[in-house]
Amino acid sequence: MLQIFVSPRYDFISKRRWAYLISLAVTLAGLLHIAYKGGLEYGIDFAGGTLAQIRFEQGTTVDRVRGALDRVRLGESVIQEFGDRQEYLIRVPAGSGGGLEEVSKRIESGLREAGLPKFEVRRLEFVGPQVGRDLQLQALYAVLAGMTGILIYTAIRFDFKGGVAAIIALVHDVLVALAALSLTNREMSLPVLAALLTIVGYSINDTIVVFDRIREHRGRGLRKGETLADVINTAINQTLSRTILTSLTVFLVVAVLYVFGGEVLRDFAFALLVGVVTGTYSSIFVAAPIIVDWEAWIRSRERRAKKAVAKAGAGR
């Protein structure tokens, strides 16, 4: 197998507190940004409404398109360039434009009356507000069900601490991806949801490879002077080449999809790119280090309990 690192001996565990701070800062920044905006920016799939994709024969501007929609009282719609200045997405919120047929007629009428270049309606979709709300709930259930299944599987295969550590790493990855979507003003849509579920699967795969190696080393018992942190550092270093090569390969493929996949797949590919990076990071700096801190906390609590018992015995 190709080796990027020859016998690496990096001390990842000693850097875990810095990694926790970086993860916390990125996650908090994303959550605060989402709260500031009043929530995620949901696409038509989840928010409900009408989506029209218009292709003009010549380039035009968002302001001209908005001016045309103002004429038919659809000026509050979200207008977005779709690839170049000849193609635009128009999102009409649910309840502000009527049904699909009515909205379509008003958009086409407004564009013609405003004297914009000739155009073609390439896509027209309508999702009712109730369907959008149902999809939001189903998306939440899908993510929770996936994480619960992973917790059960990881707890059975390793132990409860490993399962919880893996879930924390997964939640971290999803939150960072949501933060990146919010900070770049991208929409939460069904393809993006599929990307988030893919991130969950990708991240846990990487984490389990590291956990497997940790279990293998712990099964042999600790050598004299060796600590749990040493064992985990060894396990991460031994899987480092495999982790980086796998991540790099996936990243390059998704990057090609992002660049050449077109606007329809761009948000999906963007979420995956973020997920590949954060999934690799969390398998090294979040999941395994949590086990070190957890076991250190358990040993500290046991020592305090023994001291308390000894003190009580001495006082009799």
Structure token pair of residue 96: 């502000």
Q: Is 18 exposed, middle or buried (0-12, 13-18, 19+ CB in 10 A)?
A: exposed
Half-sphere exposure of 147 (CA within 13 A, CB side): 19
Beta bridge partners of 80: 89
Contact status, residue 94 vs residue 128, Cβ threshold 8 Å: yes
Instruction: Kindly give, in sequence order, each residue whose CB lies less than 8 Å from that of residue 263, ignoring residues fewer than 6 positions away.
Output: 82, 83
What are the tokens at 284?
């090294």
Nearest CA to 103 out of 140, 138, 77, 139 is that of: 77
State the greatest distance between any 2 C-alpha atoms of the chain, in Å, as a whole number. 97
| The residue count for the chain | 316
Handedness of CA 62, 32, 190, 262 (dihedral sign): positive
- With contact defined as beta carbons under 8 Å apart, do 85 and 59 qualify? yes
Q: How far is C-alpha 299 from the geometric centre of its chain's CA atoms?
A: 34
* Structural contact between residues 43 and 188, judged by C-beta atoms closer than 8 angstroms: yes
Tokens of 173: 């990855």
Amino acid 204: pLDDT: 83
Other beta carbons within 10 Å of 283: 27
Kindly provide the b/e burial profile for residues 125-147, where b requires at least 16 CB atoms within 10 angstroms of the residue's own CB.
Answer: ebbeeeebeebbeebeeebeebb
- Tell me how far the alpha carbon of residue 180 is from its chain's centroid: 8
The model carries a pTM of 0.76
Tokens for 165, please give them: 């550590």
Reported as a single tens digit per residue, the pLDDT across 116-151 is 888 898 888 877 766 667 777 887 788 788 878 887
Residue ranges for the chain with pLDDT beneath 50 = none
* Other CB atoms within 10 Å distance of the CB of residue 102: 11
What are the residues whose beta carbons fall under 8 Å from the beta carbon of 154, sequence distance 6 or more?
162, 163, 166, 167, 204, 208, 211
Residue 74 has a pLDDT of 79
The pLDDT assigned to 316 comes to 63
Question: What span, in angstroms and rounded, lies between the C-alpha atoms of 226 and 223?
Answer: 5
Q: Are 237 and 8 in contact (CB under 8 A)?
A: yes
